[in-house]
Amino acid sequence: MIRPALVVNGIGKAYVEYGGELRRFASWFGVPITLESQHWVIRNITFRVDPGESVGIIGQNGAGKSTLLKMIVGTTRPTEGDVSMDGRVSALLELGLGFNLELTGRENAVHSAGITGIPHAQISELMPEIEAFAEIGEYFDQPIRTYSSGMQMRVAFAVATALRPDVLIVDEALSVGDSYFVHKCFDRIRKFRELGTTLLIVSHDPGAVQALCDRAILLNNGKMVLDGEPREVFDYYNALIAEKENSTVRTERSADGRIATESGTGEAFVDRLDLLDESGAAVEYVGVGQIVTLRAYVSVRNDVNRLVFGYMIRDRLGQAVFGTNTHHTGQACGPLASGDRVEISARFPMNFGPGAYSVSIALSETETHLAKNYQWRDLALVFNVANLDKSTFVGSAWVPPVIQIEHVATSAASEGLAR
Amino acid sequence: MSALIRAAWRYRGFVASSVANEFKSRLSRSRFGVAWIVLHPLAQVLIFATILSSVLAARLEGIDNKYAYAAFLMAGIACWSLFAEIVQRCLTVFIDSASLLKKVQFPRITLPMVVIGSATINNLALLAMVLLIFPLLGLMPTLYVLWLPLLVALTVALATGVGLLLGTLNVFARDIGQVMAVVIQFWFWVTPIIYPVSIVPEAFRSTLALNPMVPLVMGYQNVLVYGKAPPLGLIGVALVALVALLLAMLVFRRASSEMVDIL
């Protein structure tokens, strides 16, 4: 068995009320103090991460993500349970902490590398690499107060990732400025991962977690709700957000072993969802560029004022490829009475690249499923796209090009050949 | 405790560079930069000397020099400014670095160490200046100045004990910081810095003995101005400093796990 890179063993954090600071001080000296109250913000969290694995931690605000990270990083001590880790840990919880505005980028780089415990001699060795990665040129030797916030982030990220850690902990708030640098950062994180760094990411961004993580852990109200494939966990998370209105979320394992999530009040619901070709036959395999129709048969159970149908097509990683709804297209229907039935068809060319896709659908009153959500269903339909008659291409979109080639000069040699 | 010391040793480079950075950033934007370190206490000396010399100069017994009172002030203020700077900065050192403490895992003891380092260097600069000025005032330093390293070390130890203890408690009970601002001022006036201990009425002498700063300040005055050994009370100060340090370390260790929850 592999030795895990990180073991989190039943940790929990309680904030304690001593009922007066004197009682707190006395407790340090072994005076037995009965606690006024104990408020658990997170409890019973147990998981292990293997070397090289990457795990995303998601949850709504107040779910306990930050507290969990702080306990793993070690800035806060868990009230119960323990955390053990192997190797060097680097945490990117907030970039640019402890920067001194009066000092140059280089001096600040030395300082913040020092605070992470890198010995001085090694910092000097790493400095050229840090300078190169930050790409801020002359500014590196200017005081930080002259920097834009993006430049500060560049230096901060370059320092924080100068050494490949064995465990890298990243908080979602990683706004590293312009998109070029964001790409560069993710690229570096990806490279670390390939080299065996264990990754722990806290995020709200489905894209980032699905692109980077093998696994996701969902926290809700300080408890671990789900630990599984990122796509499953995210579907559940979406449903949880929708479920603030208080109906039930359930997941069911479909025939192919995937977990599908469904939620909603059920006032209106999709009876049947079909993907049809032009002859009206249901299809599961679709050719690139083929015209298809997504048809939903909606039944109304209770009277509703307004009905918006939305759908989202996701790739196999769960990332949205295309989605819209009838509010955005200006086609919301209603009011509808109990017992009404509606048929909604969306016709479009399948301009996607080859691969497996899933369709999530939503029925709600407004354009978001957060307000009044009748039904939300992930993995309502699964289909595959294959390249049947197009030239070979890669990627998730079919963007047929018109390529033009002009022979603008002819060399003497080829003229000779022609003769 | 040994883990604390090991961590501090591992971070020695960080502490050194933090101290250096503090000086660099002070230098970068002010014209006189580092000079202010020395100018502030000297200005204080000048103020007291101008206002009080006519009142007190005659009573400074045993030295026949018209600058004797200014020299006396300088010696006392050199000691006091070291003590006060460390205590005052330690009081808020954890609160000021709240966001850093919450997000970055590093030995927290390094923060007061940076304070001590930079305050000590400040003070050494001042002492060097004092040793330069005294001959100009006609006061030749004697071999007794060799006591200075010990006096500096004891002042640092006492200030660290008091500062670290109160600085740790201040995270939890912020009133301590407010109260100490007043206490430090009061403490300054009940320590014979601007007046010689000889003018203190008999009735208050025994109270004076409870103030650990008295033997320290007198020690500075003795070796720098009077050319004699520090008072014996220094042994008591050493004991008080040791107890304060141990207590501070104990409280700091107990508190450091709860500190981040409060910040």
Establish if A354 belongs to a structural domain: yes
- Measure the CA–CA gap between B116 and B98, rounded to whole angstroms: 19
Using CA coordinates, name the residue in chain B closest to A101. Answer: B25
Using CA coordinates, name the residue in chain A closest to B18. Answer: A111
More reliable by pLDDT, A116 or A290: A290
Integer CA distances (angstroms), A183 to A128, A155, A177, A190, A208, in order: 21, 15, 10, 10, 11
Instruction: Please report the pLDDT score of residue B156 as a whole number.
Output: 93
pLDDT band, residue A350 (cuts 50/70/90): very high
Establish if A408 belongs to a structural domain: no
Helix axes A179-194 and A149-160, enclosed angle (nearest 10): 10
C-alpha angle with apex B29: A146 to A115, nearest 5 degrees?
A: 65
Helix axes B12-29 and A105-115, enclosed angle (nearest 10): 150
Q: Which H or E element spans position B25?
A: helix B12-29
A122-171 pLDDT, tens digit per residue, is 888 888 888 888 888 888 888 888 888 778 888 888 888 888 888 888 87
C-alpha angle with apex A194: A164 to A55, nearest 5 degrees?
A: 85
Establish if A110 belongs to a structural domain: no
Provide the residue range defining the domain that includes A278.
256-386
Total domains in chain A come to 1
Q: Do B100 and A98 touch (CB under 8 A)?
A: yes
Minimal C-alpha gap between B3 and chain A (Å): 15
**With 80 as the cut, is the pLDDT of residue A61 above it?**
no
Establish if A46 belongs to a structural domain: no
Instruction: Please report the pLDDT score of residue A244 as a whole number.
Output: 54
> B168: how many CB neighbours lie within 10 A of its CB?
28
**With 60 as the cut, is the pLDDT of residue A256 above it?**
no
Q: Do A25 and B104 touch (CB under 8 A)?
A: no
- Measure the CA–CA gap between B37 and B74, rounded to whole angstroms: 14
Contacts of A156 in chain B (CB under 8 A): none
Of B24, B254, B261, the CB nearest to A15: B261
DSSP assignment string, A346-387: EEEE--B-SEEEEEEEEEESSSSSSSSEEEEEEEEEEEEEE-
Residues of chain B with pLDDT under 50: none
Give the CATH number, domain containing residue A359: 2.70.50.60
Instruction: Please report the pLDDT score of residue B13 as a whole number.
Output: 83
Instruction: Please report the pLDDT score of residue B1 as a whole number.
Output: 65
Of B56, B175, B179, B164, the closest CA to residue B108 belongs to B164
Of B144, B155, B138, the closest CA to residue B78 belongs to B155
Establish if A184 belongs to a structural domain: no
DSSP assignment string, A6-18: EEEEEEEEEEEE-
Residue A300 β-bridge partners: A268
Residue A252 β-bridge partners: A260
Q: Do A100 and B254 touch (CB under 8 A)?
A: no
Instruction: Please report the pLDDT score of residue B21 as a whole number.
Output: 83
Q: Which span out of A215-219, A308-312, A332-336 was modeled with the highest average pLDDT?
A: A308-312
Q: Which span out of A180-184, A368-372, B51-55, B182-186 was modeled with the highest average pLDDT?
A: B182-186
Contacts of B254 in chain A (CB under 8 A): 28-29
Sign for the CA dihedral angle at B222, B224, B228, B230 comes to positive
Chain A interface, mutation test: which of B22, B102, B166, B259, most A Cβ atoms within 10 Å?
B102
A205-237 pLDDT, tens digit per residue, is 655 676 678 888 888 888 888 888 877 777 777
Asked whether this complex has an ipTM greater than 0.90, the answer is no
Using CA coordinates, name the residue in chain A closest to B257. Answer: A77
Those residues with Cβ within 8 angstroms of residue A241's Cβ, 6 or more apart along the chain or in another chain: A60, A370
Q: Note whether A298 and A341 are within 8 A (CB).
A: yes
Rg of chain A taking only CA atoms, in angstroms: 27
Minimal C-alpha gap between B234 and chain A (Å): 29
**With 60 as the cut, is the pLDDT of residue A360 above it?**
yes
Helix residue spans in A79-217 (DSSP H):
105-115, 120-134, 149-160, 179-194, 206-212
Helix residue spans in B57-190 (DSSP H):
68-96, 98-103, 110-136, 148-172, 175-189
Q: Do B24 and A116 touch (CB under 8 A)?
A: no
Residue A61 phi/psi, 5° resolution? -60, 135
Q: Which span out of A52-61, A106-115, A191-200, B75-84 was modeled with the highest average pLDDT?
A: B75-84
Q: Do A111 and B11 touch (CB under 8 A)?
A: no
Instruction: Please report the pLDDT score of residue B58 as a whole number.
Output: 53
**With 80 as the cut, is the pLDDT of residue A27 above it?**
no
- Measure the CA–CA gap between B45 and A368, rounded to whole angstroms: 71
How many CA atoms does the CB half-sphere of A274 hold within 13 Å?
15
**With 70 as the cut, is the pLDDT of residue A418 above it?**
no
Residue A38 β-bridge partners: A16
Integer CA distances (angstroms), A256 to A81, A253, A382, A418, in order: 37, 8, 10, 61
3-class SS letters over A30-50: CCCCCCCEEEEEEEEEEEEEC
Q: Do A25 and B10 touch (CB under 8 A)?
A: no
- Measure the CA–CA gap between A334 and B114, rounded to whole angstroms: 69
Contacts of A15 in chain B (CB under 8 A): 261
Minimal C-alpha gap between A375 and chain B (Å): 40
More reliable by pLDDT, B100 or A350: A350
Return the DSSP state at A275: E
Integer CA distances (angstroms), B234 to B77, B158, B182, B213, in order: 18, 11, 26, 9
pLDDT band, residue A173 (cuts 50/70/90): low
Give the mean pLDDT of chain A: 80
Q: Which two tokens stand for residue A234?
A: 């995210």
Instruction: Please report the pLDDT score of residue A166 as a whole number.
Output: 86
Q: Which of residues 26-45 of B touch A (CB under 8 A)?
A: 28-29
Q: Which residue has the tokens 């000021």?
A: B96
Instruction: Please report the pLDDT score of residue A148 as a whole number.
Output: 81
Establish if A162 belongs to a structural domain: no
Of A15, A119, A143, the CB nearest to B28: A143
Contacts of A73 in chain B (CB under 8 A): 103, 105
Instruction: Please report the pLDDT score of residue A207 as a whole number.
Output: 58
Instruction: Please report the pLDDT score of residue A246 as a whole number.
Output: 44
Q: Note whether A362 and A373 are within 8 A (CB).
A: yes
**With 70 as the cut, is the pLDDT of residue A69 above it?**
yes
Those residues with Cβ within 8 angstroms of residue B150's Cβ, 6 or more apart along the chain or in another chain: none
Of A334, A410, A411, A407, the closest CA to residue A374 belongs to A334
pLDDT band, residue A36 (cuts 50/70/90): low
Instruction: Please report the pLDDT score of residue B88 as a whole number.
Output: 92
Of A28, A74, A98, the CB nearest to B255: A28
Percent of chain A topping pLDDT 70: 87
Integer CA distances (angstroms), A305 to A54, A225, A300, A326, A343, in order: 45, 34, 11, 15, 17
Establish if A301 belongs to a structural domain: yes
Integer CA distances (angstroms), B180 to A4, A28, B37, B89, B166, in order: 49, 22, 23, 11, 9
Check residue B18 and give left, alpha or beta (phi > 0: left; psi -120 to 50: alpha): alpha
Give the residue numbers in A contacting B (CB under 8 Å), as ranges: 15, 21, 24-25, 28-29, 70, 73-77, 89, 91, 93-94, 97-98, 100, 102-103, 107, 110-111, 114-117, 119-120, 143
> A44: how many CB neighbours lie within 10 A of its CB?
13
Establish if A346 belongs to a structural domain: yes
Minimal C-alpha gap between A112 and chain B (Å): 9
- Measure the CA–CA gap between A282 and B227, rounded to whole angstroms: 106
Of A226, A248, A227, the closest CA to residue A239 belongs to A248
Q: Which two tokens stand for residue A133?
A: 């990665």
